[in-house]
Amino acid sequence: MDTMIGIIGGSGLYQIDGLEGASWVQVKTPWGRPSDDVLVGRLHGVAMAFLPRHGRGHVHSPSAVNYRANIDALKRLGCTDLVALSAVGSLREDFVPGDFVVVDQYIDRTFAREKSFFGSGCVAHVGFAHPTCPRLSGHVAAAARAAGAKVHNAATYVAMEGPQFSTLAESRLYRQWEADLIGMTGMPEAKLAREAELCYASLAMVTDFDCWHPSHGAVDVAQVVATMGRNAKVARETVARLPALLGTSRAPCPHGCDRALDHAIMTAPAQRDPELLAKLDAVAGRVL
């Protein structure tokens, strides 16, 4: 299989530089419209697709992002590996604004989003104990360090609904849970990537200390935007280094991300809803 890297750009990252043969393409999905058209091309010989999570110009709030359409579109284009970039708040003293963090666990506190491609008519349960791909995450960490970032490995990300920032009581509670980061877009994106049998890695860019830190108080949006601007250059350089690490030819994932549906579908074939099956053509076509 040929490698195709999908990049989901978060706040502050709305384009990828240096793509050969770059063009914005509209992808139709059975789950509705993705956040934007997808920028496709090749970077250092490796196929790449870039989707701005909030749309160009930042037009979609975290709760309004059509996560199912985004993941379906990238899978439909042929992506094998997804790297998600996002701005986050820190819940730790040693994760300071400007640092980059490779996420490996999530606490999902969202409640207003569609979280699965499956449902009545075709029920499936994928394993999610380890929600990110260790192989891909390792490459992302190496690329970020080579780009000059200070990188922390392994962190727990609390996904909150938003769009408001958290209360002081919530921020203190998440620290008691020993969570490390807080953001608004990590879920259900990671869950849907697993259902779509895509390797998924999350590189979080720390922009603030949320509101728990006694020396910082409430989140200052101006500070967040300024830090995002500084981080964006490093993020783009990180992306530029990924093709050399992943290569053009892709072997099966050693952690089984690309086989997540092997034993996940519970509904008997005779009882499966044809309409839902048609919508699953890109996501689950391998097993259906």
Tokens representing 40? 């496709």
In order, the DSSP letters of 123-170 are -B----SS-S-HHHHHHHHHHHHHTT--EEE--EEEE---SSPPPHHH
Over the range 126-162, which residues count as b (16 or more CB within 10 Å of their CB) and which as e? beeeebbbbbbbebbbebbeebebebbeebbbbbbeb
Q: Please say if 180 is a catalytic residue.
A: no
Q: Stretch 168-186: mean pLDDT, rounded?
A: 97
Those residues with Cβ within 8 angstroms of residue 258's Cβ, 6 or more apart along the chain or in another chain: 80, 197, 198, 199, 252
Strands (E), 53-98: 81-90
Q: Stretch 176-201: mean pLDDT, rounded?
A: 98
Task: Consult the annotation and say whether 60 binds a ligand.
Answer: no
pLDDT in tens, 75-129: 999 999 999 999 999 999 999 999 999 999 999 999 999 999 999 999 999 999 9
What pLDDT, on a 0 to 100 scale, did the predictor assign at position 217? 60
What pLDDT, on a 0 to 100 scale, did the predictor assign at position 183? 97
Computed over its alpha carbons, how large is the radius of gyration of the chain?
A: 18
What pLDDT, on a 0 to 100 scale, did the predictor assign at position 147? 95
In this prediction, residue 215 has a pLDDT band, given cuts at 50, 70 and 90, of confident
Q: Stretch 147-151: mean pLDDT, rounded?
A: 96
Tokens representing 105? 């666990």
Q: Which domain holds residue 14?
A: 4-284
Nearest Cα residue to 9 out of 74, 80, 89: 74
* CATH number of the domain that residue 118 is part of: 3.40.50.1580
- Pick 24 or 219 by higher pLDDT: 24
Tokens representing 145? 């360090």
**Distance, CA of 55 to CA of 40 (rounded, Å):** 15
Q: Pick the catalytic residue from 208, 220, 258, 281.
A: 208
Looking at residue 251, what DSSP letter applies?
A: P
Task: Consult the annotation and say whether 37 binds a ligand.
Answer: no
Domain count across the chain: 1
pLDDT in tens, 5-32: 999 997 666 678 788 999 999 999 999 9
In this prediction, residue 219 has a pLDDT band, given cuts at 50, 70 and 90, of low
Q: Is residue 229 over pLDDT 80?
A: no
pTM, full prediction: 0.95
Looking at residue 54, what DSSP letter applies?
A: T
Q: Please say if 81 is a catalytic residue.
A: no
Task: Consult the annotation and say whether 263 binds a ligand.
Answer: no
Task: Consult the annotation and say whether 54 binds a ligand.
Answer: yes
Q: Pick the catalytic residue from 37, 81, 210, 258.
A: 210
In this prediction, residue 188 has a pLDDT band, given cuts at 50, 70 and 90, of very high
